[in-house]
Amino acid sequence: MSDKNKKKNEGKVSTNQNECDSYQHHPNVSIGKIITKVPVVLAELTIQVNVDALIEFPEPVLEIKDIKKHVKLVQCRLLLPTNKLFIKGFVRKNIQYASPSMEIDQSTSTTVASDLHSLTVDIPFQTVTEIKRFLTKPVNPEVNKRNEFDFFVSKSLPTGFPEKDEFQSSDLSQFHQESTQHYNELPFCELISSKIIEWDEAIDRVPFPDSAPLGEGIFTKIEEKMVLDITLKVLQNQQIRVSSTTNDDCYHDCDESC
């Protein structure tokens, strides 16, 4: 078949997206008192973490243009059966800064040429706080148990002992044990929000080495003081009882009376 005939036989598909109607579907609801397993909020709290860090740049910096921040939580562990909450994470910082560039143009008494660069760093933090009031009491872990038991044995004594006496003890050639393991629900966290107040200050700023406008300088290190407020929820999967008394058709015609 020639290429011309192939092009004639090629199919074409076109579709039109039209608006369609939808209807509420009446769900099937179990009636009565039902036991379900759901995440339960144990506590909701705001934790304040103070951070002091030193950041070094790979090149001289003329000025900082912008800093974008994101909180990364890598550990949030409620140590049951205590009320101590262990927090560990990082603050991801993307720092946009201007760096002098002699390749663009030599600095003068009125101008400084620079490139716009960025540096991404992770500032670590960790703390331990106490949950003073639980919204819902956590289910404490059940302790594993191991119990050893023996069986009584009675044997005749060898020559040299009275004939009526017997050796009575447990059998040392056997080992018997009952063990129980519990697979407890581990509490977990959800990060809700974070707020950062920071102070960044150059600690090695020196005047510009060449001709430059008044007050211009360069630095490679900044000291950062940061107050971080983290709001989070502490949850645990628990079994709770819920009650449903009706499975009427209110879902079809929802109004204020329903």
Q: What angle do CA 140, 88, 53 make, to 5 degrees?
A: 155
Query: Each residue of 141-176: pLDDT tens digit?
Result: 999 999 988 888 887 778 777 777 777 778 778 888
Residues 10 and 7: their CA atoms lie apart, in Å, by 5
Residues 170 and 149: their CA atoms lie apart, in Å, by 10
Query: Each residue of 35-70: pLDDT tens digit?
Result: 999 999 999 999 999 999 999 999 999 999 999 999
| Residue ranges covered by each domain of the chain | 32-136+186-198+205-242
Residues 12 and 169: their CA atoms lie apart, in Å, by 92
Query: Each residue of 194-253: pLDDT tens digit?
Result: 999 999 999 998 888 777 777 788 999 999 999 999 999 999 999 999 887 776 655 445
- Run of H or E including 180: strand 176-180
DSSP 160: T
How many C-beta atoms surround the C-beta of residue 145 within 10 A? 10
Q: Which of 119-123, 150-154, 187-191, 197-201 has the lowest mean pLDDT?
A: 150-154
pLDDT band at 6 (very low <50, low <70, confident <90, very high): low
pTM of the model: 0.74
The 3-state DSSP class for residue 23 equals coil
Kindly report the length of the chain.
258
Please name the residue that has the structure tokens 């004594």: 157
